[in-house]
Structure 1
Amino acid sequence: MYKNTPLFYRSVGAGNPLVLLHGFLESSAIWDPFIEELSKKRQVITIDLPGHGKSGSIGECHSMDLMADAVHEILMQLQIEEATFIGHSMGGYVSLAFCKNFPKLTKGLMLLNSTPEPDNKERRQNRDRAIEIVRKSKDTYINTAISKLLSKKNRELFPQELETLKKEALSFSEQGIIAALKGMKIRTDNKTILSQFTGPKYIVAGNQDPVLKFSEAKIVAYSTNCNFLSLSGGHLSFIENKNETKKLMHLID
């Protein structure tokens, strides 16, 4: 529970905790194909962030700090003293907010299809437009938004995986989706936080990502002293490049 709201999480394995945080319109289920192997060597914790999966919504805006506090509440319940984080997209934003607010609890960071940079003016405007579309037709927004996350080629290669994502996202409340859009819109610039973080840190980017430009991700990685890793495909590397993603996740053991 966090702020009288139920939060869903799973903990498998023991030692050297690894926290996996999903992205927008996703849930902890995206990590299911990775848990068995990762948990052979360490404790793996997967969490449904507020308003997503089986976790409830908290108010009108789920800021990245609020989500990070929710993650912290779970780690305190599990008596975790230090953890490594892998965050996909929005999960990366939450991981950075956690690192900012709880630096002593943060051992390592991997941003998967994510960035420490805030939304620019155009992206903030796009968030507002997205909110209006969700209010008019949540289903239309979800079906369109998720399809655009993959490279054109991979939309044809992974139709079932896309449908699975869409089906689950359609179960999310309108409030939870809008609260996350508002939270991402107002997130702060965390490049300094990432640059000053001295633990292992990686930025993993898809070379055809339609959301975050590959060239910009590379520049950000080098400017913040991060290891930069590239994968083929778009914004959903855990689907488009599952085996390679699995290998990279072991780098941060």
Structure 2
Amino acid sequence: MKIKFQETEIHYSIVGEGETTVLLHGFLESSEIWEDFLPGFSKYGRIISIDLPGHGKSGVISEVHSMELMAEAVYAVLQATGVKKANFISHSMGGYVSLAFLQQHPEMVNALLLLNSTPQADSEEKKEIRDRSVELVQRNKKAYISMAINNLLSARNATSFSEEIEELKHKAMKFPTKGITAALKGMKIRSAKTEALKNHKSQKTIVAGSEDPLVEIGALKSLAESCGCTFIVFPGGHLSYIENKEQFRKLCFSSKK
């Protein structure tokens, strides 16, 4: 399925019926990361998986895909499908988008699960890394994708999930260079969403990897507690939906079992 948003196609899929849950993938990913989970998830309601702009089958909107712009693309999908309120399960960059959506449309958000994500803005060091990443993508997309995705797993899981990593790389290579750089630029300029998260009164959960190379777990735990979030730690790195597939599957709809 697809809609037109700002003259660009945004692709999404729907399975199941009932209470809506929106699934948002991370950077260099697409809605395909959720495929193995959909049969189980759809037993608990309607599941909408969205390809964020510049990723999967969705087109590039502009030079910079801010998290707010991506959130408005999500809003457009929900408007088109008649959704008035939804749960959100989001990985990494998808978490940034769901938090931007929460800030823009708080009345539409029910439960929120952030997987390997944070409400914090980029540090100055991380912003510099984003700039260098943009240059590398433009110079050698294949090398950048390989390096970036290899760095997401914990060292102990790098061999165990080598096939999954190669599949992620293969799919990410199909994304347009402009879509990748637009997301990098958007993540760099994102603002902190701690107040929006703190003010949200429904169920909210942050799941972190114990060896996540991109998220400092101690700081994230303190932040989660200050925002009233349930904080859960899985073993492994930044790809908990791969490294801890069954634990993640059980967690997502545990309150409905």
TM-score of the aligned structures, taking structure 2 as reference length: 0.97
In 1, Cα distance between equivalents of 2:70 and 2:22: 13
Correspondent of 2:183 among 146, 161, 180: 180
Alignment of 1:102-251 (within 5 A): 102-251=105-254
Secondary structure in structure 2 of the residue aligned to 1:44: strand
Letter in 1 for 2:134: I
Aligned-pair identity in percent equals 48
Letter in 2 for 1:117: Q
Correspondent of 1:81 among 81, 84, 88: 84
Aligned to 1:52: 55
In 1, Cα distance between equivalents of 2:147 and 2:223: 28
CA drift of 1:223 comes to 1.1
Aligned residues: 253
Alignment of 1:15-30 (within 5 A): 15-30=18-33
Secondary structure in structure 2 of the residue aligned to 1:40: helix
Residue by residue over 1:74-132, the C-alpha shift from the partner in whole angstroms, topping out at 9 and shown as x without a partner, is 00110001000011000000000000001111111111000000001000000000001
Secondary structure in structure 2 of the residue aligned to 1:221: helix
Say if 1:200 and 1:252, in contact at 8 Å, map to a contact too: no
Letter in 2 for 1:236: L
Deviation >6 Å, runs of 4+: none
In 2, Cα distance between equivalents of 1:230 and 1:143: 26
Correspondent of 1:34 among 31, 37, 48: 37
Say if 1:108 and 1:252, in contact at 8 Å, map to a contact too: no
In 2, Cα distance between equivalents of 1:208 and 1:126: 20
In 2, Cα distance between equivalents of 1:69 and 1:187: 14
TM-score of the aligned structures, taking structure 1 as reference length: 0.99
In 2, Cα distance between equivalents of 1:217 and 1:10: 32
CA drift of 1:252 comes to 5.8
Provide structure 2 residue ranges, at least 5 long, that are not aligned to the other structure: none
Provide structure 1 residue ranges, at least 5 long, that are not aligned to the other structure: none
Letter in 2 for 1:225: G
Q: C-alpha root-mean-square deviation of aligned residues, in Å?
A: 0.7
In 1, Cα distance between equivalents of 2:44 and 2:114: 21
Secondary structure in structure 2 of the residue aligned to 1:115: coil
In 2, Cα distance between equivalents of 1:35 and 1:2: 25
Secondary structure in structure 2 of the residue aligned to 1:20: strand
